[in-house]
Amino acid sequence: MLVHLHVKNLALIEEAEVEFGPGLNILTGETGAGKSILLGSMQLILGSRISSGMIRENAPYALVELLFQIENPKAEEALRALDISPEDGQVLLSRKIMGGRSISKINGETCTVGQMKAAAGCLLDIHGQHEHQSLLYPEKQLEILDAYGKEGILPLKEKVQKAYQEYRNCLRSLKEMDMDEEQRNREMAFLEFEIQEIENAHLIPGEDGELEKQYRKLSNGKKIAEAVSEVHGMTGYDRQDGAGEMIGAALRELSRVTEYDSELEGLETSLQEIDALVNDFNREISSYMDGLTFDDETFYETEKRLDLINGLKSKYGQDLNEILSYQKAQQSKLEKLTRYEELFRQAQKQLGEAEKKLEKASGELSEARKEYSKQLSVKVIEGLRDLNFLDVNFSICFERKASYTENGFDTTEYMISTNPGEALKPLGQIVSGGELSRIMLALKAILADRDQIETLIFDEIDTGISGRTAQKVSEKMAVIGRHHQVLCITHLPQIAAMADTHFEIEKHLKGTETITEIHPLQGEDCLRELARLLGGAEITAAVLENAREMKQLAGRQKEAMLASAAVQK
């Protein structure tokens, strides 16, 4: 569950730290006090877009940190699948915003926004003020059904996705093959030309490197001959200043005095070795000169061959191996075009088989969805009756899409009747905004019981309701709070009275600045906030007494729910 929230320099919030408790956490405050900012801070962790305008004026950055205590084994398993290991059973998610960019961290390690969103998605679920409108869209309705029956539906969805990918590949292959005879003949002629051009070159892997070395030698023949001749003279014995002649003279000079000093014997030996090396080098370079020939015809043929190879490289690949691989690929294409009729029939057959496989997998998925839809419909009716839909009927209608998708061929329509004898009709034709909100609450409660997510956040789920309905919603929130941590922003006293922990969000002036603060309420402070919700600006003794009575009644109702739950176990 979410145990700690830290927000700094975000819009009107200078700095706020909140310790949330288990069960139902209620947040109340005047309109405009900053309740939406607090919710927005949590949505930033879920990957919401950021802007520099979110940062408090004159502040260098904004910071949001959420600390979770992991108590659900399924949640821990989901996190470990994302390579996130809780430390002492806790996970810290943080996002720092600086001038339009942000830094996200999980347990102190930098991560991407996508990784942060995935981690947060395992830990909390936010239901915003307008999310219930998504219930009017078939895609959302199908998503909810799949989430409800995920144990049986998810494996079948994966099977459909695999079959759909195979079907799409076959469809794409057939489309790529589809061409008329004239187009096919043009393609074959072009392939034959390319293949023949490469074949005629009789390429040998690695020959381009050897040719380039030979070309460099031939094109610089005069320079090489002049340099080698000069080196031969400089190291030989034909010139007085030649190294061989000079070393020979030095050796003769040294040998005349070696007999007078034994230490000179080592030097004489070294000089003899040098003389031998220079002599050997001079003979080798002389041999090189004898073999040095520069044939104009050889140079021409080498240059011509290189031009041919470089021309092929400019068309077919950066080196000879790539050119030969290209030739092989084009040969394969030509063979396929030669067998076009046969291969086209094979591709049509493969597409037919892939479609049958996809049809079967989609049908199995559809049947599973229909079975789970019956269970979900029963639970939705029970949940809606708990929320003061006294005579409600609900079902999920299926239709087949015109084409296959990776999600099967189903489209759904949630059908409802809220009055006795009234026919089932689509949600959008029957219910109001407040009723949609209650339907979404019922669905969230159903899904929460089947999910690993421990923390549920509801932003003004009470929109458009009052009186007995508000009381029913408060009871439903309390029931959900028995098994999950719930954070609820509300303006209705009936819901606020059910709080296990109550927080007030208020806005006030600090010097010349407006700031938003949040603090927990207990005892009489809690009653005064309830009285404000009941009576508005003026809190009379009668309103305060009414608030006390409402709080006591809520306490008795929670005790009764706990006792009922214990009996059911």
**What are the residue ranges spanned by the domains of the chain?**
1-123+453-522+556-569
Residue type, position 257, single letter: V
**Backbone angle region of 504, left / alpha / beta, with phi > 0 → left and psi within -120 to 50 → alpha:** beta
- The total of other beta-carbon atoms located within 10 Å of residue 161's CB is 16
Residue 465 Cα distances to 207, 261, 315, 469, 495, angstroms: 85, 121, 73, 6, 11
pLDDT at 367 over 80: yes
Alpha carbon distance 248, 275 (integer Å):
7
pLDDT of residue 173: 87
- Per-residue confidence band for 38, with pLDDT thresholds at 50, 70 and 90: confident
Contacts of 448 (CB under 8 A, 6+ apart): 125, 456, 480, 483, 484
Position 568 pLDDT exceeds 80: no
461 vs 502: which has the higher pLDDT: 502
Mean pLDDT is highest, among 122-136, 240-254, 489-503, for 489-503
Which are the contacts of 458, defined by CB distance < 8 A and separation ≥ 6?
127, 441, 444, 477, 486, 487, 488, 489, 490
How much is the pLDDT for 91?
94
User: Per-residue pLDDT averaged across 229-247, rounded?
Assistant: 82
Burial class (CB in 10 A: 0-12, 13-18, 19+), 439: buried
> What pLDDT does residue 439 have?
84
Q: What is the structure's pLDDT at 46?
A: 80
What pLDDT score does 569 carry?
52
- Phi, psi of 408, deg, nearest 5: 90, -165
The CATH fold assigned to 1-123+453-522+556-569 is Rossmann fold (3.40.50)
**What is the pLDDT confidence band of residue 414, given thresholds at 50, 70 and 90?**
very high
The terminus-to-terminus CA distance of the chain in angstroms comes to 24
Percent of the chain with pLDDT over 90: 29
Please report the pLDDT score of residue 212 as a whole number. Answer: 86
Q: Return mean pLDDT, the chain.
A: 86
Question: pLDDT tens across 138-166, in order?
Answer: 888 998 899 899 899 999 999 999 999 99
DSSP state of 339: T
What average pLDDT does this structure show over 121-148? 81
The arithmetic mean of pLDDT across residues 384-399, rounded, is 89
Can you tell me the distance from the alpha carbon of 313 to that of 324, in angstroms, rounded to the nearest whole number?
Answer: 10
Cα–Cα distance for residue pair 89/557, rounded to 1 Å: 33
Which uninterrupted H or E stretch holds 514?
strand 513-521
Q: Is the pLDDT of residue 243 over 60?
A: yes
Q: What is the pTM (predicted TM-score) of this model? A: 0.65
Residue 33 reports pLDDT greater than 70? no
* C-alpha dist (Å) from residue 497 to 92, 113, 206, 382, 558: 31, 37, 85, 24, 11
pLDDT score of 402: 92
pLDDT at 415: 93
pLDDT of res. 516: 83
| Residue 42 near residue 66 (C-beta atoms within 8 A) | yes
Per the structure block, which two tokens stand in for 397? 């209608």
* Single-letter code of the amino acid located at 521: L
Strands 485-489 and 455-459: parallel
Q: Are 488 and 477 in contact (CB under 8 A)?
A: yes
